Chain A
Amino acid sequence: MQVVGEADDGAGAIAEYARLRPDIVLMDLQMAEIQGLEAISAIRESDPDARIIVLTTYSGDSRAIKALRAGAVGYLLKASLRKQLLDAVRSVHLGGKHLDASVATSIAMHVLDDPLTEREIEVLSLASKGNSNRQVASHLRLSEETVKGHMKSIFSKLDAADRTHAVTIAIKRGLIEI
């Protein structure tokens, strides 16, 4: 097993993949400029057989689902032991998928849920910064009633009791960033 290349950001990862064509890619999600998810999509678009393992601090289901849907075949947490990382590289090299069981369970609990829309994520992100419905409406150039409707839908989708609860759930699941 040999490390043949490294990149500092998503754009670098895409360029280095095209140059080196490695058997396996270990990809972070949080990077400058082009983020990990975009880099995964771009690499898989250029090479549908690319085998990409995400190595991240995010344990929430949202990013894991997006990464797997983008074409990643492994998802590991940075807290994983070295042996687990090597196991993942080996099983992915054999053509399989490899997930941390806790991530897989987290994915399974929500993968079939009705997802938040882009607009709902925008609304919730603004609410997480302390904005009232009126302020959210002003930011997004919507009516306050429309924002209330979005919030109601968000509560229902996340099974949240109130906006604080909704924000807490969304942060935990990686639906919004703060």
Chain B
Amino acid sequence: MDKTEADELGTYRAVHLTARPIDALLTDVELLIVGLPAAPDTTDEVTARLDDALKNTLVQLRDAGLFLGRFGETLVLDRLPPPYMACSLLVVGMGEISRLDAPAMGILSELAMRSALKLGRCAVGYMVKPPMLNPLPDNVALISREVMAGVLRAIEAHPAIMRCAVLEWIVDDYHVHSEIAKAAMRRELAEWKG
């Protein structure tokens, strides 16, 4: 099991937000959320590893036109087989990579949180990330704030459907500007007016 220590981001209503590196296979959560672009992304090692354990299911479904990875499209795969520790997978379509900007990443995180709330999942790993080969610190901060804003918007819009005493929302802590990303998310949460 993945025992990596988490960094506190904060709490909003009954959602506890933390950040830590997530192992797509070993992290024990009820719901793992990943992104799938509309076209193959050779730089995305995370989805590749994850899909490898699923015998390339995601890529094959996309190639066959059954799940295209269009922006905002979602697919839940329930009862994940070993070696997954997670119970189910929510795949969020990211559309065309070249069109993904900070507000778009915020829309995806809002969609993801809304789905997690509707499904009543209490431990969620969020791994949707923009493809950034050379991320600039300012961009990282901007995207991270939008991602947090999206999460907060969803919580605010759906207070009545919270099915857990506390929903543990773990954001994958993956990139070189990790501290900048976490600081930006904390700032968005602190300044959030709803």
Contacts and interface: CB of A to CB of B under 8 A. Distances in A.
A112 B63 contact: yes
A68 B66 contact: yes
Contacts of B58: 108
A112 B17 CA distance: 40
A94 B114 contact: yes
Contacts of A65: 64, 66
* Interface majority SS (helix, strand, loop, mixed), chain B: mixed
A69 B56 CA distance: 19
Contacts of B55: 105, 108-109
A143 to B, nearest CB: 35
Interface in A112-134: 112
B119 A91 contact: yes
A97 B79 contact: no
Chain B interface size, as a band, is: 20 to 34
Interface centre among A80, A96, A112 (most CB of B within 10 A): A96
Given A91-B76, A98-B75, A111-B64, A105 B119 contact: no
B78 interface: yes
A101 B81 CA distance: 7
26 contacts: A65-B64, A80-B78, A87-B78, A87-B119, A87-B120, A90-B119, A91-B90, A91-B119, A94-B74, A96-B76, A96-B115, A97-B73, A97-B74, A97-B75, A99-B78, A100-B77, A101-B88, A102-B81, A104-B77, A105-B54, A105-B57, A107-B61, A108-B57, A108-B58, A108-B59, A111-B60
